[in-house]
Amino acid sequence: MRLALSSRLVLACFFRASAVPLPDECSLPAFAGQALRDTPSATSFERAGAWFAGQANLKCAQAAFEEAVTLEPRSAQAHYDLGVIRARAKDPAGAAAEFRLALEYKPGMAVAHNFLGSALMDMGRPAAAEAEFREALKLDPKSVFALDHLAQRLASERRYAPAIRYWKQALAIQPDSPEISRAMEAAARREANRNTGLAAAQAEQARHDLAAGNTALAEKRLQAAIASDPELVAALADLAVIRANKGDNQGAEKLFREAVEDDPNYGQGHLTLGLILAKDQMFAEAEAETDQAVKLNPKDATALAAAGKVKVRLGKSVEGIALLRKAVALAPASPAVHLDLGMVLAENFDLAGALTETGEAVRFAPGSAVATSTAASAARRRYQEQENEKRESLRPTGITPTFAGGEKGWLRREDGCCEAARLILTSGWPRLLPVPAFERARHPTWDSARLCR
């Protein structure tokens, strides 16, 4: 009798699994071995691997977990378990590969980030390991493993102050940890004996170099100052500004992150870091930094304006505009703040408000091309809005479907829905209502390009 293809495949899988593909020396207790034969699944092999791991039999544990990932290749837990065994077997590269697969199939797995970071440290990649520990803390702020390993990483760079803060957090969660206590006490002694005089002098000389226009020499002095004292916030910030001016946003971001970690109350550092992140379209992280800048300096108009603009980009227009109005109230003569508020109001279709604010920007900075151009754009859009209002007031009582379509088209256009406006307006309204003279002058043809400008 010939079996159907599907039946043959099922039987093949059954007999393959029933064979329990483990090395001969990997013997399980009778009940566990029978369970593996009765239900040969990824779960049963994971259980077998866990039993072997508990017996410190790494070879058999690895064989069991390898079979589990073969049967269930998208199982994050199976890849994670296999990674742990490979790490215990002193195979950090193999472990890292498994932890990455676990995170691919389950991105929010904080413990996998922790163990991946540990494997990367063993591979001699401390910077990459640090990123994993930080990601683990985002997912689980109470992870003692992540706090301790991140502190160790910072202490190895002689950044003792932030390392001590992380160890204190770890001890608050797990007080009975003598190893962490000893590490923190050693870091505190080194921090107390740190000689900051030479580094501070180098940083001060670098500022004189910058004032004289010698950026290259200033950069070298700042690098030397940071090498002498990795926690010198002023040097970190000045070097970050140099990197940003060179277009190295990634380098500037790294330095500002170190600066605000070394001194969490460094408001300008949080603000500048937030602006860099916003420029790179990382608005969620930018919001956290600009909010912290406002918290530290609630009367800083620049910080308020930056926080407001970031919130608008995240779709929080009401909160953002409120912050921008506070900034204008604190700095009424600042053209930049008026311009920021005006541009946001224009984007939110408050053309009258936009015209007022951009007009103020031009009044305080009459030579600013950006302010003048933005004010002119707001004025033009406000004029068009008024013309639309006039046409609406003259609309006859009995609206024909075609004219109603035109009315909707204008509304869609003002909402920024250009394609919808094009479809509605070109479907008939222009044939009934003449194109306004100012529009004809600017756009000889009535087309989608005109509608979407």
Q: What share of the chain is helix, strand, coil (3-state, %, to 5)?
A: 75, 0, 25
Predicted TM-score (pTM) of the model is 0.61
**Same domain as 86, residue 22:** yes
Tell me whether residue 80 is in a domain.
Answer: yes
How far is it, in rounded angstroms, from Cα 130 to Cα 437? Answer: 63
Q: Is residue 154 part of a domain?
A: yes
Domain count, the chain: 3
Q: Is 270 among the domain residues?
A: no
Q: Does 417 lie in the same domain as 389? A: no
Domain membership flag for residue 212:
no
Residue 404, both tokens: 């109603």
- In a domain? residue 346: yes
Find the domain containing 415 and state its range.
403-451
- Please indicate, yes or no, whether residues 17 and 61 belong to a single structural domain of this protein: yes
Tell me phi and psi for residue 107, to 5 degrees.
Answer: -60, -30
Indicate whether 86 belongs to any domain. yes
Q: For residues 132 and 188, state if they share a domain.
A: yes
The structure tokens listed for 172 are: 């608050």
Amino acid at 152: Q
Q: Is 198 within a domain?
A: no
Same domain (yes/no): 385, 416: no
Q: Are residues 386 and 435 in the same domain?
A: no
Is 388 found in the same domain as 431? no
What is the pLDDT tens value at each position of the chain, 453 positions in all?
A: 343 433 333 333 433 333 456 776 777 766 555 556 666 777 778 888 888 888 888 888 888 888 888 888 999 999 999 999 999 999 999 999 999 999 999 999 999 999 999 999 999 999 899 999 999 999 999 999 999 999 999 998 889 989 999 999 999 999 999 999 999 999 888 888 777 788 888 889 999 988 899 999 999 999 998 888 888 899 999 999 999 989 898 999 999 999 998 888 999 999 999 999 999 899 999 999 999 999 999 999 999 999 999 999 999 999 999 999 999 999 999 888 888 888 888 888 787 888 888 888 888 888 777 667 766 676 667 667 666 766 666 655 444 434 334 444 444 444 444 444 444 444 443 333 344 444 444 444 444 444 444
Does the residue 251 lie in any domain? no
Regarding whether 438 and 410 lie in a shared domain, the answer is: yes
CA 287 from centroid of its chain's CA atoms:
10
For 256: left if phi > 0, alpha if psi spans -120 to 50, otherwise beta; the answer is alpha
- Are 365 and 436 found together in one domain? no
Last residue of a domain, which of 378, 395, 412? 395
Residue that is last in its domain, among 169, 192, 215: 192
Q: 72 and 114 in one domain?
A: yes
Question: Rounded to whole angstroms, how far apart are CA atoms 450 and 130?
Answer: 51
80 and 41 within one domain = yes
Distances (CA, A) of 140 to 136, 152, 169, 217, 308: 6, 18, 13, 43, 29
Neighbours of 147 (CB within 10 A): 26
CATH value at residue 137: 1.25.40.10
